[in-house]
Chain A
Amino acid sequence: MSNEFRATLHLKFMGRHLMMLPPTYQSHDPNKMAIIYYSLCGIAATDKTQIETKYSKSREFILAHHKTIELKDDQKICTISGFIGTLTLDFQDNKVITINLSNTLFALLSLRILGETSFFENSKHKRHIGNLVKNCQLPDGSFVSSLDIDNGFKPSPVDSKDLRYTYMAISILYLMGSRSKQDFNEFIDVDLAVKNILNHQTLLGAFGEYNEPHAGYTSCALSALYLLNRSLNVLSESFKSKTISWLVFRQLSNEGCSKFQIDSNPSFDEADNGGFQGRPNKFADTCYAFWCMNSLKLLTDDWKNLIDTSAVLNYLLKTTQNTLIGGFSKNDDDDPDIYHTCLGIAALKLLDGSFDGSLCIPKYVSDTMVL
């Protein structure tokens, strides 16, 4: 098999996800904005002219998901705004608060990809979206994704708080123009947020919940710290080098002593050679090639000289790229899906230098976001 990147097939695969979807997608209704973002991001990274010719008119459609809500209680008045993920969650009079951080981030990234600029320059939008992020921060510095549907001053009582939402909160503020600590502090408590991120450092490097390291959370933590001040200097040198080595060990091999696991390790697969896993002793998975390489790239400029880049290219192009219907799958046996397609392409583009990993958009898009 050749290891050529099948651009045309992938564009078709992603394009199909932006067209009419059958009722089987109903259970994904609340995550529709995520599907839109993964598709647009993958398309833009593959062929930006398609964005201009086919999709740029859809800005209005995405903007229809932007909701502004006046909050009032006995002492305070505050206006928040953000995006809903589907119009099923559009409660016209805004008595029920359904905007959240993940849909807001996916919508903002999609708008950036589609070339929208005026939305981002509007100072009211900056303030109102900043207020949403502000209300999502908890006293320990962490973030939830949504607010209580009945009281927008309070975080949702049923949301999880984890590093994904910290990353989203900070990325949203960055997209809306925050750059200096002072900018971020206008809406969130930066020191507390950083302290909370640092509390998720694990003993042997990397980040995770309750000391179990995880490549996805590691990428969220490092990207968030990086967006806050374009450096990772709050991390100690020893933690950085432990994290680099933890990440390097996520690349799987079927050579040398690794082979001893063939019969004994139920999560070992020789076909995983070159791919990355999210945690020790798990199978390789396309998306972790992105999360691990993005983390490494943030930690050191020398990242490509620390991993076997040709092995990861082979893994993505020969093992998880689908050459019949396009797209990338999670591993060598699943069907392709839009999330792994976007992240598989992102991983490849990170390697050729055309993808901005900390913002998760093609580099040509983030290049337009000069301060």
Chain B
Amino acid sequence: MTEEFLLKFQDIKPTPIQTDIPNELCQILYTKEYANLMGVTRTLMNNREHSKRALELTSVVIEIAPAFYTVWNYRYNIIHDMVLQLKDANQEKVIEFLNKDLDWLDELTLNNPKNYQIWSYRQAILNLHPKPDFKRDLPILKIMLHDDTKNYHVWSYRKWLIDFVKNDSLFDFNIELNFTNIFIDRDIYNNSAWTHRLFVIKTNPANKNIDFNSKLIQNEIIFTKKNIHLCPQNISSWNYLIALLDWLNNGKATDDLIEFASQFVSDFFSNTAILPNIQSSYALEFLADQYKLDPKRINDSIKAYKALSTKYDPIRTPYWNHLIKGLS
């Protein structure tokens, strides 16, 4: 296939790759096909050829070796040049041309989900785009996240995109908040979905002066409580709750939340005979962290850390002991 494609470049003398150096390390045995393809690419890059066939060549190289950062750069420079030429004609043409490049990128993305060069290239194309449309990007992001629900690069790109379009009146922050529900419903332990949720709330320009008692935040508390009920031993939902408190309530839990957390630790604080079975070490830790702020309850806090150390979370014994030392 590559051989046939290279017929378009018969006028180009491939630049050979230097090999067989003394004491070479990690020498890769290149196939003839690869050496030819790279040879032609090298000549074209050296000539700064920004033609249609050069653009096609970059697609072929990227498919074979997506980690070639310079070829991505080369492709972008060709696209950039072509956009400048099209600008003289009209904007519609530019949009059509860049959308075609995004179509190509979508397909590549589906075939190479782990490559992260894709996402920064995408940002560069959107920055060049006269009318970047977030709606065009959302479907591919959704597919990618459905296939790999905790892919850090895809979630980061999605956050970049939201930040990029946050002042676009068509962008609906509520839809985005609901988007995270899909993932939390599917896997309540998806930490990326939980952190995305907080990002969405914090990025929405309408929430600039939000306070803890606002309807939105109180709804978030209800949402989190519901999810902790479903699954008490989940660090992501507890962290979300703690993050809301840290952000808007100086880290201090309300009486209601203390009562809420207490239901997951059985009669731990009143039971002087045994360490009861509890439903969540995170609930106990949450209470201990709150109680240590109150001089009257500091002993309860120490009791909880001790029990975490011996029974509920023994791998962190050294850490719990370190906290106890800090209190006594």
Contact = CB atoms under 8 A, between A and B. Distances in A.
Interface of A: 17-23, 25-32, 35-36, 39, 55, 57-58, 60-62, 64, 86-91, 93, 95-96, 98, 100, 145-146, 148-150, 156-160, 203-204, 209-214, 245, 248-249, 251-253, 255-258, 260-261, 264-268, 273-274, 279-282, 302, 305-308, 311
A57 B38 CA distance: 29
Interface stretch (B4-12, B135-143, B310-318): B310-318
A36 B26 contact: yes
Contacts of A19: 26-27
Contacts, number: 240
A149 B152 contact: no
Contacts of B314: 253, 255-256
Contacts of B76: 157-158
Interface of B: 15, 17-19, 21-31, 34, 38, 42, 45-46, 48, 64-70, 72-77, 80, 116-117, 119-121, 123-124, 150, 152, 155-156, 159-160, 163, 187-192, 195-196, 198-199, 202, 231-236, 239, 242-243, 246-247, 278-282, 308, 311-319, 322
Contacts of A268: 189
Contacts of A266: 187, 189
Contacts of A249: 235, 316
Contacts of A281: 150, 189-191, 234-236
A248 B18 contact: no
Interface centre among B34, B74, B231, B319 (most CB of A within 10 A): B319
Nearest to B322: A306
Contact of B31 (A23, A62, A95, A305): A23
B246 A307 contact: no
B124 A158 contact: yes
Interface centre among A27, A93, A156, A160 (most CB of B within 10 A): A160
Interface centre among B69, B120, B191 (most CB of A within 10 A): B69
10 contacts: A39-B25, A61-B23, A87-B18, A157-B73, A210-B156, A212-B155, A212-B159, A266-B189, A281-B191, A282-B150
Nearest 6 Cβ contacts at the A-B interface: A253-B315, A257-B281, A160-B120, A210-B159, A260-B233, A281-B189
Nearest to A23: B31
B78 to A, nearest CB: 11
A98 B70 contact: yes
Given A28-B67, A281-B190, A23 B150 contact: no
A30 B68 contact: yes
Contacts of B198: 203, 211
Contact of B322 (A210, A261, A305): A305
Given A87-B21, A281-B189, 18 more contacts: A21-B27, A23-B29, A26-B31, A26-B64, A27-B64, A39-B26, A57-B22, A61-B25, A91-B15, A146-B69, A148-B77, A204-B239, A212-B155, A253-B314, A279-B150, A281-B236, A305-B322, A306-B319
Where chain B touches its partner, the secondary structure class is helix
Contacts of B46: 91, 93, 95-96
Contacts of A203: 198, 243, 246-247
Given A256-B311, A266-B187, A149 B70 contact: yes
Given A60-B22, A280-B191, A308-B317, A22 B29 contact: yes
A217 B63 CA distance: 28
A204 B67 contact: no
A341 to B, nearest CB: 14
Contacts of A86: 28
Given A88-B38, A158-B117, A248-B319, A149 B233 contact: no
A275 to B, nearest CB: 11
Contacts of A22: 28-29
Given A149-B73, A281-B191, A251 B315 contact: yes
A22 B24 CA distance: 15
A311 B315 contact: yes
A158 to B, nearest CB: 5
A100 B77 CA distance: 18
Nearest to A277: B191
Contacts of A308: 315-318
Contacts of A31: 67
Interface centre among B120, B280, B314, B315 (most CB of A within 10 A): B315
A204 B242 contact: yes
Contact of B77 (A55, A58, A149, A267): A149
Nearest to B278: A257
Nearest to A255: B314
A156 B281 CA distance: 47
A258 B233 contact: yes
Given A23-B31, A27-B65, A212-B195, A305 B318 contact: yes
